[in-house]
Structure 1
């Protein structure tokens, strides 16, 4: 898709890579590594990733033995202090970032930002792009050569010639961050390989990874809808199809599936074992569109459409209302959307864990990117100040259960939030000041995912249970940490081309016999060039 997108599209893209604008989550690509590795794993002969060191946090209430996010059924009573003293140097710290919310209150009118500045020991100043247009603003600032201290590099907005730009205008941070050097910044060392791989460019670390969930799209359901067929558990694609046909009731306006065809093909592809965008064998890449597994998922979606299983209006904008009142049985959401729906939706929420479509299928679960890019330090910054800025980012990356996380994400107790019986809630002042400031802040630097739903321990258990079941199925995107110019230049066009084609095939506007012709056209228009560039990057290590 193009470099401009809706907030909902962006959030899905951060996890999935190929989007359809306006959908709640996005299908196709995923990425990241299959779990946090512990120990400075070598990405190449030249670069060791930052050595993973688990941060000290309150003991989670649920197990984390399979790579699940730390989960808390109540807000911790005893927080950990992860930063001994304000890391700043008293000077203003400028940054370029984005928000999909409204602009936050001006610094002079925000008690939250004033308290954060005190804790950081420096004034935190953000140049914020509100809504679409980040690439345009980014390019204008680069061209002006008036760079802020910290610049966010998103992974999915078509920024051009990134390796050359980083080498020309930003500090190489490899010596500060790789291997054991990261131990000077314990909260950054806690981010893990999943996030750090996406911050590697040309075998160097030019930025600090912006941590994000490693879990990708989720197939969510209203469990009440599925009770007549014994619940939303399935033994095969045929079993899923038979049960959805039983639940279809056109007269009562009840349909099993929301009309997000591309997202559903992505979900079905898990069942057939399709690759997470690319499959790597012997140094050679194969795109998911070239595989029989993805074609099988597409064929199954065509079968579902012909059986009238999708809601008939593809422009439906009120999906969750229909799910809540029992008219739609299942929908696709990003993992952060899963968390949000668990907090806000009142229906009996559930999630479908990928299963084998056929006896010979090996189900997978496509991991998310594990980050929303990285933040680089401009070479306008004196080298003597690099460690100060890294210290500030270390403060802001503090994990859930620390004093620093609480201040960054909730503000000041009594002013911005209150605690009661293991729950936490914003005050009116907190609601007005904190969320709108935190969103652009967290595109510059983020904390590792954690599960805490105030007042809803059962839903916290539900999400943790889903993570436990899909963890063994997690499938990384093998191109993470590698760069393709064609991707930055052509991915928008190719994504739109693919999304449009998939919709045409699913809905019968084009016969499925034309799929291979589409794949050839897609490869000719840029897919083959992307493949060659990624293969060359992988060969270099």
Structure 2
């Protein structure tokens, strides 16, 4: 990246401007294109954003990012709840933005478009951009399509970013209970959080666990002693959806639901409702990524200085095997550039992505400007009121384009206490020692991808019926046996095992 010439920089800093602009000058602004006599590069994109209030082109940090990268950004934010449907419609239309963001690189429609040559093969260009090239090898390797780099991975840590239980440590200590290590231990803790007045207000107004159904996926994996959706047994891949251990996991969840230690709104609960239940001290546990830990603690300590939320390091299944969740691939979402974009502009877009993976660019979108949006002491950043006004959120809004590098997004947070920060680091280290096998990582049914998605959805629907009492476990058993005879199911299993055999013989 080129720095502005001294005269240009001086003139820029002498312009009448607000403190926001002055801070940019004093921090040593880096521009992707030092010659600003040229027109800014227009970049259109559509990116998933979890923020409740999403920023627009009038946002000062948005403007600052454009100045530093000499771009004119036209970003459409898409909420996570509707992203899958909208990206499928977008790909089907073939009317793609300059920077096309997808979550799942294994969608058949996307791979068909790649085969047809609609996207740039970026393999020959990556080495020209040092920050992109410095992303972990596994992130690049696992985001390949047909062995080539058609996509730029959006980095995401392998450990700490998946949903896993975190619970009220102060409640646990008050009741003189040990940290749960097994699924049975966890059940007892959640039961106590529900019925033993953990907040000592003399009322039975708490619940053990608040979470939607997918937040309970860890139960199925812990019982199966494996990561992902497939289990290696006797040298063959078997889908967890039909495993006997998954039946046991289902009964564990049903028991918890029947005994009202899981939120009765399980079938319809939303992420925001999960969060609020924890923040209001209504729930003693939930299942989310470690990035939520400080968010909860900070809110709880406004009224209770001793409140504490602890993410568990592991949970053991029935056979005593520890389980922790991992993120497949080392990325969450990726960017593709359609061939309708000329090569010269394609390189400018890669330059833009490269800036976001520089220390300067990554800090800018996730934390804002030092002295304006945050202060820093002993490596801990503390947000200012201006950061709240400008809607700066780590990993959301402009941070949705590039999430923080390293373990920052799951370990640290704006304003986090040094003690919690160090504790989070230790938990990530502990989890890294108990990584489960994931034999099907990187493998997806190609021909029967849609069939697999449909089968999985059907199983989840049936599981929910069992949990809420609309179907007996005996009826579930019969349904699973019929599913195993389903032609689509057999083809998916056969295709996955063939892919696994190819992988093991390469």
How far apart are the structure 1 equivalents of 2:211 and 2:63? Answer: 46
User: Quick one: structure 1 residues 191 and 380, their matched pair in 2 at CA, closer, same or farther if it must change by over 3 Å?
Assistant: same
- Summarize the alignment of residues 328-347 of structure 1 with structure 2, pairs less than 5 Å apart: 328-338=283-293, 340-346=295-301, 347=307
Aligned match of 1:186 in 120, 130, 136?
Answer: 130
- Which residue does the alignment assign to 2:146? 202
Which structure's relative contact order is higher, taking Cα pairs within 8 Å and 6+ residues apart? 1
**Alignment partner of 2:55: what SS?**
coil
Contact 2:61/2:390 (CA < 8 Å) preserved in 1? yes
* 1:531 equivalent in alignment to 2:497: no
**Alignment partner of 1:204: what SS?**
coil
- Summarize the alignment of residues 211-290 of structure 1 with structure 2, pairs less than 5 Å apart: 211-215=155-159, 216-227=162-173, 229-242=175-188, 244-245=190-191, 248-249=194-195, 252-258=204-210, 260=212, 263-264=215-216, 266-267=218-219, 269-270=221-222, 273-280=225-232, 284-290=236-242
How far apart are the structure 1 equivalents of 2:336 and 2:364? Answer: 24
Aligned match of 1:452 in 403, 412, 431?
Answer: 412
Deviations 1:286-331 (A, max 9, x none): 1112334333322333343454433445466755555456553322
Deviation at 1:480, TM superposition (A): 4.0
How far apart are the structure 2 equivalents of 1:478 and 1:112? Answer: 43
User: Quick one: structure 1 residues 339 and 171, their matched pair in 2 at CA, closer, same or farther if it must change by over 3 Å?
Assistant: farther
Deviation at 1:150, TM superposition (A): 1.5
How far apart are the structure 2 equivalents of 1:334 and 1:211? Answer: 15
The aligned length equals: 450
Deviations 1:45-68 (A, max 9, x none): xxxxxxxxxxxxxxxxxxxxxxxx
State the superposition RMSD in angstroms: 3.9
Look at both structures and tell me which one has the larger radius of gyration over its CA atoms. 2
Aligned match of 2:360 in 390, 393, 403?
Answer: 403
How far apart are the structure 1 equivalents of 2:237 and 2:393? Answer: 41
- Summarize the alignment of residues 311-460 of structure 1 with structure 2, pairs less than 5 Å apart: 311-314=263-266, 318-320=273-275, 322-323=277-278, 327-338=282-293, 340-346=295-301, 347-358=307-318, 360-369=319-328, 370-398=330-358, 402-414=359-371, 416-419=372-375, 421-422=377-378, 424-427=381-384, 429-433=386-390, 435=392, 439=396, 441-448=398-405, 449-450=407-408, 451-453=411-413, 454-460=415-421
Structure 1: give runs of 5+ residues left out of the alignment.
1-79
Deviation at 1:332, TM superposition (A): 1.6
How far apart are the structure 2 equivalents of 1:239 and 1:139? Answer: 42
- Which residue does the alignment assign to 1:466? 427
User: Quick one: structure 1 residues 481 and 197, their matched pair in 2 at CA, closer, same or farther if it must change by over 3 Å?
Assistant: farther
Deviation at 1:465, TM superposition (A): 2.4
Deviation at 1:207, TM superposition (A): 0.8
Deviation at 1:379, TM superposition (A): 0.8
- Which residue does the alignment assign to 1:298? 250
Contact 1:410/1:434 (CA < 8 Å) preserved in 2? no
TM-score, reference length from structure 1 = 0.70
- Which residue does the alignment assign to 1:46? none
Structure 2: give runs of 5+ residues left out of the alignment.
1-26, 197-202, 302-306
Deviation at 1:233, TM superposition (A): 1.6
Deviation at 1:221, TM superposition (A): 0.8
* 1:506 equivalent in alignment to 2:467: yes
- Summarize the alignment of residues 79-94 of structure 1 with structure 2, pairs less than 5 Å apart: 86=33, 91-94=40-43
Deviation at 1:152, TM superposition (A): 0.9
TM-score, reference length from structure 2 = 0.74
How far apart are the structure 2 equivalents of 1:535 and 1:321? Answer: 43
Contact 2:102/2:335 (CA < 8 Å) preserved in 1? yes
- Which residue does the alignment assign to 1:24? none
Deviation at 1:277, TM superposition (A): 1.0
* 1:167 equivalent in alignment to 2:115: yes
How far apart are the structure 2 equivalents of 1:104 and 1:459? Answer: 29
How far apart are the structure 1 equivalents of 2:255 and 2:94? Answer: 54
How far apart are the structure 1 equivalents of 2:425 and 2:496? Answer: 34
**Alignment partner of 1:464: what SS?**
helix
- Higher mean alpha-carbon deviation, 279-288 vs 496-505, is at 279-288
Deviation at 1:513, TM superposition (A): 3.0
How far apart are the structure 2 equivalents of 1:438 and 1:303? Answer: 36
- Higher mean alpha-carbon deviation, 239-248 vs 109-118, is at 239-248
Deviations 1:102-137 (A, max 9, x none): 44232xx34323322232233333244456554565
Deviation at 1:530, TM superposition (A): 3.5
Deviations 1:445-467 (A, max 9, x none): 44424133314222212322221
**Alignment partner of 2:392: what SS?**
helix
How far apart are the structure 1 equivalents of 2:64 and 2:280? Answer: 44
Contact 1:210/1:443 (CA < 8 Å) preserved in 2? no
* 1:150 equivalent in alignment to 2:109: no
**Alignment partner of 1:256: what SS?**
strand
- Which residue does the alignment assign to 2:12? none
Contact 1:236/1:357 (CA < 8 Å) preserved in 2? yes
**Alignment partner of 1:530: what SS?**
helix
How far apart are the structure 1 equivalents of 2:276 and 2:493? Answer: 41
Deviations 1:491-527 (A, max 9, x none): 6544442332222223443232344433345553854
How far apart are the structure 1 equivalents of 2:181 and 2:64? Answer: 54
